[in-house]
Amino acid sequence: IAGAAEASMGNYDAAIEWARKSLRENRRFTSSHRVLTIALTLSGRMEEGRAAATRLLDLEPGLTVS
């Protein structure tokens, strides 16, 4: 939740840190994978964002963006 809040305020580095901390506790928590993907992409870290999106889609293959 902290990562999503930070991302919504544009604090992408903090959001990335919170998402990674969450994923250290539970690697399969897709909400944190979503936050990480979004924060990395919006912070301009496109390659890392793509890698995070790939991991997210591995866990949630039916995910779509609309």
pLDDT of residue 40: 98
Q: Name the residue among 35, 37, 47, 45 with its Cα closest to residue 9.
A: 35
* Radius of gyration of the chain measured on its C-alpha atoms: 11
pLDDT of residue 17: 98
Tell me the per-residue pLDDT of 9-66, one tens digit each, with 9 for 90 and over: 999 999 999 999 999 999 999 999 999 999 999 999 999 999 999 999 999 999 998 8
Structure tokens at 47: 């390659």
pLDDT of residue 58: 97
pTM listed for this prediction? 0.94
pLDDT of residue 26: 97
Instruction: Give the contacts of 18 (CB within 8 A, at least 6 positions apart).
Output: 2, 3, 6, 35
Q: Residues 19, 35: contact at Cβ < 8 Å?
A: yes
